[in-house]
Chain A
Amino acid sequence: MAYIQVPEGIPGIRSLVMFRPETGKPLYELAQVLLRGDSTLSEAERELMAAYVSSRNDTMFCMMSHAAASRALFGNDKKIVDDVLKDIQHADISDKMKALLNIAGKVQILGKEVKPEDVESARNEGATYKEIHDTVLIAAAFSMFNRYVDGLASFTPTDEKEYEAMGKRMAEKGYVPPINKE
């Protein structure tokens, strides 16, 4: 049971946004800009960062849904998602992505944990300043989303099929706030 009176049976952040649509609008806009806006990082890669940070925060709802979105976007290469969530170093991703995910993992702990050598490694692997910026902001944003979803104890479905459908919708439609039927 969520800690506040949100609509019943609606999962995760959707229930919170239906409780308070005014704050929901910029929250969904932020997700859309960060995960679907112009970027030299692919949508699949950015969803993977979101899933990775959520996994480190142990936020099941965000981890499952963004991993599903990333799998849907990676298509035939969807195995990458589970490999990264298991062990970045042995996953079949570029050294640049490894360096960026390392930064995202540091941000998840605390901003101060990102050291000059972490940024230098990413730069050496060809990451641009904008890609480093976007990585830090995506990781910071999911440090927010995860706390919002778990801090109010919102409903977390356990059926994997439900996340698969959710991920497909996120891959196809992006981030559109739910509409209140009241």
Chain B
Amino acid sequence: MPYIPLEEHLPGITGLLEYDKIAAKPIRELTQILLRGDSTLTEGERELIATVVSNGNQCRFCTAAHTAAADILLGENETSKNVKENIVTSPVSNKMKALLTIASMVRESGKAVTKEAIDKAKTEGASDIEIHDTVLIAALFCLYNRYVDGLSTVTPANPNFYKGLAERLRDHGYNRLSHGYDHLKTDKSTVA
């Protein structure tokens, strides 16, 4: 049960973004720029950063949602599973390993990011903007994970919910749907 009254057909972050649309606007805009805007990192790679951070913060809703988004964008579900288990042995580039390591440090604390980790990413070819965006994506998911769990929002158990959400994120990104979300009221997969 959420700690505040949220619409029942909108679990996890989706209900919070409708509860306070004024605060949601810059949060959505920031997410859209970071995860879908112009970047030398692919959308799938950026969803992996979101996945690793959410998993580390033990936020089940965000982990399931961004795992599903990464899987749909990458066209397979092994990479997301592997990065959550072990970044170093996962099937991503050395540059991505270095960036995911930085993201994990940010998740712990901003102060935990070492110069060595930054140097390693640069050695593997990461640009300043890639490092910047990795740190900010990781920091942003520290916001999301705390927002979602701190208000005890509902985490649907049905995997179809996350599949549907991932399709929406692939097709529309993080912008609010122009017609809102009332059409989801009939969707049974949101029921926990």
Contacts and interface: CB of A to CB of B under 8 A. Distances in A.
Given A23-B33, A151-B106, A140 B143 contact: yes
B152 A144 contact: no
Contacts of B142: 140, 143-144, 147
Interface centre among B110, B135, B145, B149 (most CB of A within 10 A): B110
Contacts, number: 148
B22 A37 contact: yes
Closest 10 A/B residue pairs (Cβ): A150-B110, A111-B149, A140-B146, A26-B26, A147-B139, A144-B143, A29-B26, A4-B128, A147-B110, A26-B30
A20 B151 contact: no
A111 B136 contact: no
Contacts of B128: 4-5, 19
Interface of A: 3-5, 16, 19-20, 22-23, 25-27, 29-30, 33-34, 37, 57-59, 103, 106-107, 110-112, 114, 116, 119, 129-130, 132-133, 136-137, 139-141, 143-153
Interface in B35-49: 37
B131 interface: yes
A33 B110 contact: no
Interface in B122-176: 128-129, 131-133, 135-136, 138-140, 142-152
Nearest to A109: B146
A150 B29 CA distance: 23
B74 interface: no
A111 B3 contact: no
B97 to A, nearest CB: 18
A116 B152 CA distance: 9
Interface of A is mostly: helix
A111 B147 contact: yes
Given A137-B23, A137-B147, A147-B106, A132 B4 contact: yes
A107 B145 CA distance: 10
B150 A114 contact: yes
Contacts of A151: 102, 105-106, 110, 113, 135, 138-139
B115 interface: yes
Given A5-B128, A147-B109, A150-B111, A30 B150 contact: no
Contacts of B151: 111, 114, 132-133, 136
A69 to B, nearest CB: 19
B82 interface: no
A111 B60 CA distance: 11
Contact of B33 (A5, A22, A136): A22
A164 to B, nearest CB: 24
B88 interface: no
Nearest to B128: A4
Contacts of B145: 110-111
Contacts of B140: 144
B57 A111 contact: yes
Nearest to A106: B150
A131 B77 CA distance: 40
A133 B136 CA distance: 23
Contacts of A25: 29
Interface string B93-109: 00000000010011101
B75 interface: no
B113 A137 contact: no
